[in-house]
Amino acid sequence: MPNWFAYCALLIWPIVAAILYVKLPPARATAWSLLGAQYLLPAATVVKIPMVPQLDKNTIPSLCALVALLILRKSSKRNPILAVDILIFAYVLSPLATSLANGDVIVAGGAVLPGVGVYDGVSASLLALLGVAPLLLGRYLLGNAYAIREAFKALLWCGLIYSPFMLFEMKMSPQLHAWVYGFVPSDLIQQIRGEGFRPMVFMGHGLIASFFAMLSFLTTTALKRTEIRGSRLFDYSIIYLGGLLLLCKSLGAIIYGAFAFPLIRWASPRSLNLASTLLVCFALLFPLLRYSNIFPTTELLSAFEQLSPERAKSLAFRFNNEDLLLNKAAERWLLGWGRYGRSRIYSEYDGKDIAVTDGRWIIDFGQYGLLGFSAEFGLLIVSVLAAARWRAAAIVHSERLLVSIAALILAINVIELIPNSTLTPWTMLLAGMLVGMTEAKRSNSQTDARPFPKNATPAAKSFKGQPA
């Protein structure tokens, strides 16, 4: 049970965000407001006010981002991407459509699940609006290379500052959340790795902390390649954060890091965009591959059995639950089952919930159907594809490279939504910045750097964006 300090931390954060926006440029203030909430605020703690969506460590900074957008947005010439507008409307309104289509009461064993109606639909749509607020802020206010650079630098420093706490929990077990906020947000057994522990600090789960350690490692690598100044600092930070990632003992995050590091360090923008496009296309097709039994689950389980029987058993459990939930979702495939756990599986004997939902894709499919899944994943995927299109219009090589790297990192986050549910406001912010840059370039608006002649020196071609 959260203590009083946990609720105070949530309620004080809007004041912290306001101070950041007053003292810092919008790009830097946004990055630190969103990441600061993710790294510091309590997990699994909710403040619920009637007629208002739940307030937690994701929705509160998103609400701050929405207010910042309304106050700071300036009119600018841009050529909007129609697909993005359509997906945003679908993302916000699909929960309302789902609620209107699910007014029936469900009885499963001893479980009685209420129907959902207009009130629940409006509440869910408002929650979706908060979820997409960082994307809107990035699109309309921070669509420039300077903002992406600031977001990357914030992740670098967050990783360095957070690392001592992660190292402490690797040795002493994940206890900091309980010491500060009064409770442990997830099962400690899941954090045991060999003779040590997988840290989570204030993230809520070791998988999330490991994923952000991987993001810090990759963004530092990106800064090393695209920056001229501070090269030695980046070198040391890459080695340190890479070691931290390995010590987290999270196989998925390590695989992402091992895959992306050589691409970010040495690949051309064309190769980076190709890798990003392939990743998001796979994520988009994954539900179809799973439903049609084309995805090689048996072969994958056999490979993991050779690597680690324990991980193979965990993966088999995940696949079995996905099969159950996917079959349930197929019964209402277009709009889903709605809220209140209606999309989950319940025992016919005692009404207990017997399914485990891990991946974001199956959660979206179950709750909001194909429409909701397509809207959320579509927004992220279109953002990645927009970055590839922006490449052709870019003038400065360092900018083109930075955008291609940002698209790859976003694509990795989309892939992470298949096994897990690591969708944070920072992810939506990065997607919005990529969309904003594309739309600005489409309208020949130079929002982030002045043009350079083709024969400019490498030093002159380095990033020289102005604070947003």
Task: Let me know if residue 37 belongs to a domain.
Answer: no
Write out pLDDT tens, residues 129-165.
999 999 999 999 999 999 999 999 999 999 999 999 9
Is pLDDT at 236 greater than 90 in this prediction? yes
Task: Please report whether residue 415 resides in a domain.
Answer: yes
What residues contact residue 434 under an 8 Å CB cut-off, 6+ apart? Answer: 138, 383, 384, 386, 387, 390, 403, 406, 407, 410
Contact between 367 and 338 under an 8 Å Cβ cutoff? The reply is yes
Residue 138, CA atoms < 13 Å, CB-side half-sphere: 32
Residue 292 pLDDT greater than 80, yes or no: yes
When pLDDT is averaged across residues 277-292 and rounded to a whole number, the result is: 94
- CA-CA distance, 154 to 152, in Å (whole number)? 5
pLDDT of residue 230: 61
In a domain, 350, yes or no: no
Residue type, 235: D
3-state DSSP of 284-305? HHHHHHHHCCCCCHHHHHHHHH
Query: How many domains, in total, are found in the chain?
Result: 1
DSSP string, 400-454: HHHHHHHHHHHHHHHHHTTTS----HHHHHHHHHHHHHHHHHHTT---S-----T
With bands split at pLDDT 50, 70 and 90, how would you rate the model's confidence at 449? very low
d(CA 303, CA 392): 40
pLDDT at 228 over 70: no
The least confident of 152-161, 289-298, 410-419 is 289-298
Whether the Cβ atoms of residue 390 and residue 349 lie closer than 8 Å to each other = no
Whether 322 is in a domain gets the answer: no
Provide the whole-model pTM: 0.92
Whether 16 is in a domain gets the answer: no
CA 139 to chain centre: 16
% of residues, the chain, pLDDT over 70: 93
Ordered alpha helix ranges (H), 117-250: 118-140, 145-172, 176-181, 206-226, 231-247
pLDDT at 6: 97
Length of the chain: 468
- Contact status, residue 323 vs residue 287, Cβ threshold 8 Å: no
455 pLDDT band, cuts 50/70/90, is very low
Question: Is 281 a domain residue?
Answer: yes
Q: What is the pLDDT at residue 305? A: 86
Q: Work out the average pLDDT over 52-72.
A: 93
Q: Which amino acid is at 300?
A: L
Round to whole Å and give the CA distance between 57 and 44.
8
Residue 310, in any domain of the structure: no
Q: Mean pLDDT score of the chain, rounded to an integer?
A: 89
32 pLDDT tier (thresholds 50, 70, 90): very high
- Residue range of the domain that includes 433: 74-289+359-461
Q: Is residue 269 in a domain?
A: yes
